[in-house]
């Protein structure tokens, strides 16, 4: 049985935007509003602020500033999902802040070292209890949590949806993903790695939707790509995916967070400013390659009706 958030996310590609900052590293409201408006104008109905937003490195002051901004900046119909964590202390501190807000959902960022699955299950349970609502679980490595543990968290009302992002050379034949789908229902799982695996994740595993960074630049094209997969139109899906895949290859080669952040600036949608440390903006020599990929996305979106 699908959760309420699964039903909402199932209507749209889920945009995973960066966050704009001023030179003094204060939240840049104008550019963030312009980016959100651009994404929404392309028909996208969900905004997930997580890894691309560099929330791993937020202090509590900037976290509160962002969530207060997100409470009113997007359209009321847009599903807004901020993220918390990834360490146990930030999970609890940020969950307590968000308890006073009403967002469509909250995602727990994945923690790597030092963790063990039993400790992750306990930590997520405590964070969901502090939040007073279930979490979106972000699975980014093999056996992060066993499928039966994920099912326990869902049955207890502590997890409502899964963002699956275990990278593989070939996304087909993914036994871990298949086991998670069998345990919780594939309708409660989204493909969480951009466009690279969706040619398998959507038709083969029938995942609910997918998350994307490129959608921030080409929202109409991303929605058309999702529609092509759902219609079983393989030829259209291949054609529409090509610029997104080119963009994702550049992100993989240079760095996903930096490329997306500066790509939005290079697109002319909004000046995103500096990236919050500990990440860094693109080096000057990397901008030409990123600009070429951005231009491909913009051209595709224009062909689908974007006249800006």
Does 56 map to a domain?
A: yes
Does 192 map to a domain?
A: yes
Does 24 map to a domain?
A: yes
71 CB burial (10 A radius; 0-12, 13-18, 19+): middle
- 261 is in which domain, residue-wise? 4-302
> pLDDT, tens digit, for every residue of 11-53?
999 999 999 999 999 999 999 999 999 999 999 999 999 999 9
How many domains in the chain? 1
Does 130 map to a domain?
A: yes
Does 200 map to a domain?
A: yes
Domain with residue 66: its CATH number is 3.20.20.70
Does 151 map to a domain?
A: yes
> pLDDT, tens digit, for every residue of 88-113?
999 999 999 999 999 999 999 999 89
The answer to whether 260 touches 251, Cβ cutoff 8 Å, is: yes
Question: pTM of the prediction?
Answer: 0.97
Does 308 map to a domain?
A: no
Structure tokens at 152: 């326990």
Task: Note the pLDDT of residue 307.
Answer: 44
Does 307 map to a domain?
A: no
Structure tokens at 176: 């871990």
* Intervals of the chain under pLDDT 50: 307-308
């Amino acid at each position: 049985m699908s959760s309420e958030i699964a039903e909402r996310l199932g209507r749209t590609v889920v945009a995973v935007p960066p966050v704009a900052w001023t030179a003094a590293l204060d939240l840049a409201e104008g550019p963030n509003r312009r980016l959100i408006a651009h994404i929404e104008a392309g028909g996208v109905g969900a905004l997930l602020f997580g890894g691309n937003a560099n929330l791993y490195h937020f202090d509590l002051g900037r976290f509160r500033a962002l969530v207060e901004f997100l409470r009113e900046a997007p359209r009321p119909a847009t599903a807004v999902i901020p993220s918390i964590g990834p360490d146990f202390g930030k999970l609890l501190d940020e969950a307590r802040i968000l308890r006073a807000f009403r967002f469509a959902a909250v995602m727990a960022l994945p923690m790597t070292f030092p963790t063990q699955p039993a400790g992750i299950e306990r930590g997520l349970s405590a964070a969901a209890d502090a939040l007073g609502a279930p979490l979106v679980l972000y699975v980014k490595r093999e056996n992060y949590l066993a499928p039966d543990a994920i099912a326990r968290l869902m049955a207890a009302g502590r997890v409502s949806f899964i963002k699956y992002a275990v990278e593989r050379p070939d996304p087909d034949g993914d036994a871990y993903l298949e086991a998670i789908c069998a345990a919780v229902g594939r309708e409660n799982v989204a493909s969480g790695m951009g466009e690279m695996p969706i040619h398998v994740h959507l038709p083969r595993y029938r995942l609910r939707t997918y998350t994307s960074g490129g959608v921030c630049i080409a929202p109409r094209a991303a929605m058309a790509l999702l529609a092509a997969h759902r219609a079983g139109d393989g030829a259209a899906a291949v054609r529409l995916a090509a610029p997104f895949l080119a963009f994702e290859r550049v992100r993989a080669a240079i760095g996903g967070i930096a490329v997306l952040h500066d790509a939005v600036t290079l697109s002319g949608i909004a000046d995103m400013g500096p990236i919050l440390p500990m990440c860094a903006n693109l080096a000057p020599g990397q901008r030409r390659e990123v600009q070429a990929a951005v231009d491909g996305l913009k051209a595709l979106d224009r062909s689908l009706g974007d006249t800006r």
